[in-house]
Amino acid sequence: MLAINNSPSPTTTTAPMHSTIKQSPLYDGLSNDTKARTAVRNAFTHSPAKMHRVYSIARVIGFGSNGVVLAARAANGTPVAIKIIYKEFAGKMGAPLSEIEVLKYLSQAGHSAHLLNMVDHWEDSHHNYIVTELFGSDWSQASDAQFETLEPVTFRSRFGGKVTEHKFPFSAGSSDLWSWQHAHRSHMQNTEGHSLLPIDPVKQIIKQIAMGLQSMHAKGFYHADVKIENILVQSASSDAMNSTSTGVKLADFGHARHFSYGIRNYGTAQLQAPEFLNDSPFSSMELDGRAADVFALGMVLYALLSENGCLPSTAQALAMSSTGYESLMSSNGGYYPFDAIADLDHHDEAWGLLNGMCRVDPAQRFTMDQACSITPTGFAECLSNPANCPHASSIQFPVPSIDDFSTLVHTLAKRLRLTIVEQVPMAVSARLKAAKPANAMMKALSASANAAGAAGGIVSFELKCGSTL
């Protein structure tokens, strides 16, 4: 044992000795699985009243590199999700967490039904905690698709002089869009011999996420990590696989910021827009993360429409920076070079949406307002209420040949009651003006696109509501 004498020595003078112990990151070197299990145990140790008294924990429903999510019930019986966010170093308290600030703002009046709503938050020495509504069906139980099975997390905790044994089911996530599409592709393979997803549910899902992002963007915020793992999907009926109505909410706002801060990079490299490439002419303060959200949602749409759920091959090249911005701008007229999608000929509006949402130049890309209005329902509403539709929308679809372009333009103008504002045959483009509301417009446009069929040119129409021109 060392004895410490605080009295001064009569014969020697000793300089004070300082030692600095470098603190290691909280969960440094652990796998995502191990971090999640350790964090759950630590949550019961460092926030015992919350985890024992305020909330009743049921199971682990997802985890990643930065946190783990628990399904629970509040004291009043309301189902909730508790997101445990790992701190970099233990003991660091009081530092504001941007995700909480963003959710506070978004959860105020005017909150979108397609964004998760925050109901509580707190912190302890190891974690920040965000409590939201619990949303999403368990798609691992709704189909015969194979999902990864993980061992439950088991441990003991002590609270109020009582020791409790815990054993929580442990899942990497089965309520997100990845799980939805995995379950439905398996169902389609077993029943119809292919893994293409039905188009109508895909449209419903994309429309709802676009509406959630539209609400965020209108308030000046971008999400910055739109991907299938951050989209929660809930069936409206007990027969989830055959339900015709699906609810969707966007989750995980850890990368969300106000657009005035600019954006340096996107949350997931594979869904990162071309403007983040090294040879891009834009600085981080010039970039608007809302445009990057539009691009990422376009990539999600492509993955859902493709037969295997994969992103286009160019996306991997972008993630590895093996394709440059200038190369993309010059190689395909500024349009993103998508791979072909099987059986998409009869859904040309989807190609129009993809081409508009994923333009290489962010200034030419759809806004989320335009992405919402380009769908058949939204576009018909726009034409019926011109005063509520101040923006233009572009639609691209195949035409038989450049020689047939002029005939096609005049046929469409006549059938859709549009006026030809400008026609540029050499560029295969035209602008058409809506002279008056055309309720049958989208039906006629779809029929014309299908008849145009298989020949490979791309026609671009910029459609504006008549009263705004």
Specify the amino acid at residue 77.
G
pLDDT at 331: 85
Binding residues: 92
Phi, psi dihedral angles at 36 (to 5 degrees):
-65, -45
CA distance 34 to 27: 9
Q: Are 117 and 249 in contact (CB under 8 A)?
A: no
CA distance 242 to 85: 35
Q: Are 71 and 84 in contact (CB under 8 A)?
A: no
Q: Residue 259 has which token pair?
A: 């657009």
Instruction: Compute the radius of gyration of the chain from its Cα atoms.
Output: 27
Domains of the chain, CATH where assigned: 32-172 (3.30.200.20), 178-374 (1.10.510.10), 386-469 (no CATH)
Q: What is the pLDDT along the chain (469 residues), one digit of tens a residue?
A: 333 333 343 444 444 444 455 667 899 999 999 999 999 999 999 999 999 999 999 999 999 999 999 999 999 999 999 999 999 999 888 777 899 999 999 988 678 999 999 999 999 999 999 999 999 999 998 877 888 889 999 999 999 999 999 999 999 989 999 999 999 999 999 998 999 998 889 989 999 999 999 999 999 999 999 999 999 999 976 666 666 678 999 999 999 999 999 999 999 999 999 999 999 999 999 999 999 999 999 999 999 999 899 999 999 888 887 889 999 999 888 999 999 887 776 455 788 889 999 999 999 999 999 998 875 444 334 333 433 433 334 444 344 444 455 555 555 555 444 555 555 444 444 444 444 333 333 333 333 333 333 334 444 444 433 322 2
pLDDT at 312: 93
Geometric angle at alpha carbon 128, from 125 and 130, rounded to 5°: 150
Phi, psi dihedral angles at 321 (to 5 degrees):
55, 30
CA distance 373 to 352: 12
CA distance 258 to 256: 7
Q: SS3 breakdown of the chain: % helix, strand, coil, rounded to 5?
A: 35, 20, 40
pLDDT at 241: 63
pLDDT at 25: 87
**Nearest CA-CA partner of 410 in 396, 397, 425:** 425
What pLDDT, in 10s, does the model give residues 36-85?
Answer: 999 999 999 999 999 999 999 999 999 999 999 999 999 999 999 999 99
CA distance 382 to 391: 10
Q: What is the DSSP letter of 176?
A: B
Q: Are 386 and 466 in contact (CB under 8 A)?
A: yes
Sign of CA dihedral 256, 257, 259, 261: negative
- The Cβ of residue 330 has, within 10 Å, a number of other Cβ atoms equal to 11
Longest dimension (CA), the chain: 108
89-117 burial, b if ≥16 CB within 10 A, otherwise e? ebeeeeeebebbebbebbbeeeebebbbe
Binding residues for ATP: 92
pLDDT at 439: 35
Q: Are 285 and 293 in contact (CB under 8 A)?
A: no
Q: Are 374 and 352 in contact (CB under 8 A)?
A: yes
Geometric angle at alpha carbon 215, from 181 and 176, rounded to 5°: 20
